[in-house]
Amino acid sequence: NAGVTQTPKFQVLKTGQSMTLQCAQDMNHNSMYWYRQDPGMGLRLIYYSASEGTTDKGEVPNGYNVSRLNKREFSLRLESAAPSQTSVYFCASGQGSHSNQPQHFGDGTRLSIL
Amino acid sequence: GENVEQHPSTLSVQEGDSAVIKCTYSDSASNYFPWYKQELGKRPQLIIDIRSNVGEKKDQRIAVTLNKTAKHFSLHITETQPEDSAVYFCAASTGGSNYKLTFGKGTLLTVNP
């Protein structure tokens, strides 16, 4: 039982390059989330998907797009990477959908943009 | 939207002492309050949570208290051990169809042997 799996674990990009961060969960959760974590800023929500087929903006969505490919997978895309997007990105999943249940996190993707 | 304030940002204690971390929230409709522990370089992991229908919850050396009137909740760790050293995050949620968490900025707890 892998839980929440993120790929890649590390990535270095040049300004202007694009890339997609992948996330998959095997817990049959309805909701999935993308956060970024910067020093002293806690975890800030970028986008979330309350259920398959829906996505919504979080606190810091600018510069990102997401796709809820199916119930298991939720990807985050940077179309034109900027140095301000250097961060650790965490994907999480939860039962969500009216029930307050914990979110479970992946191991994170450490992204550096030069 | 919801705003969660967390204090202190850093906390240093001696092994065996107690540690208390406090959070306040702004949305009176919030009804779920989890606490996460994040060790260096690792993922955040849930350590305890509380729902609005109870005022206190304990799990061995950790406990969480909730005061809905004052809109604050606290994490208490007793008999601290070096392995308790980590960053702790509080969060709050109003639930509903678009359930999402709002996190505090975190507290770096250092337990000195």
Which tens digit of pLDDT belongs to each residue from A62-83? 999 999 989 999 999 999 999 9
Residue of A40, A43, A99 lying closest to B103 (CB–CB): A43
Give the 3-state secondary structure of residue B36: strand
pLDDT of residue A41: 82
Tokens of residue A30, six digits: 């309805």
Which tens digit of pLDDT belongs to each residue from A83-92? 999 999 999 9
Tokens of residue B77, six digits: 């760790």
**Inter-chain CB proximity A42 and B43 less than 8 Å:** no
CB within 8 Å of A13: residues ≥ 6 apart = A19, A78, A81, A111, A112, A113, A114
Dist CA B52 CA B39 (whole Å): 28
User: Which residues of chain A make contact with B100, given a CB cutoff of 8 A?
Assistant: 31, 33, 45, 48, 58
With 90 as the cut, is the pLDDT of residue B29 above it? no
A103 at the B interface (CB within 8 A)?
Answer: yes
Task: Give the number of other CB atoms < 10 A from CB of residue A13.
Answer: 18
With 70 as the cut, is the pLDDT of residue A99 above it? no
Cβ(A42)–Cβ(A97) below 8 Å: no
Dist CA A103 CA B45 (whole Å): 9
